[in-house]
Amino acid sequence: MIAIIKYNAGNISSVQNALNRLGYNSIITDNPNEILTADKVIFPGVGEASSAMKYLTDRGLDQVILSIEKPMLGICLGLQLMCASSEEGNTKCLGIFKEKIKLFPPEEKVPHMGWNNFSAIKGSLFDGIEKDNDVYYVHSYYAEVGEDTIAECNYIKNFSSAMQKNNFYATQFHPEKSADIGAQILKNFCTL
């Protein structure tokens, strides 16, 4: 069973629908036991960093996430909350990845929205995927390229399109909205 973490951030149903299309069962939950006993965990999100982190910490879900030992995939805001901190609301985040989340400069160029590619891909999340494929992005904040970066994208500057550290994976793009390429990435995650 795949647990999709419910934490007052949008886009959860579209992730579940994408998993259904691939033939995977999932539950949307904020129950710590269901999250910790799931075979895989997805941490999606569209929203604002400080309010999302407050929701997580108020319910103890921040500590639950840090305790996950099975493969976990953060998506968009999920990736950002897995980093050390965010300029959005001057927010202390989970610290799984040491990168800091920053606002794209200049502000009139945000959000980065629509189809863009990724490059420098590596790791099992991208099995069967060629670099320079287009995936779907919607974000105003980004993680810099660092030691946990497994894919890069360029919008104004290079940023982490995907990251991995141990059992924790994350994509800045939305695989559930990225057609066949996104479906393959989700399938790769589900078969880790």
Catalytic residue annotation: 76, 174, 176
Given a contact cutoff of 8 angstroms between Cβ atoms, the answer to whether 40 and 73 are in contact is: yes
Helix, strand and coil content of the chain, in percent to the nearest 5, comes to: 30, 30, 40
Residue tagged 């200049």 (tokens):
106
- 82 vs 39: CA distance, rounded Å: 20
Residue tagged 């934490």 (tokens):
7
> Closest Cα partner for 92 from 139, 55, 49, 145?
49
Q: Is the dihedral of CA 99, 100, 105, 107 positive or negative?
A: positive
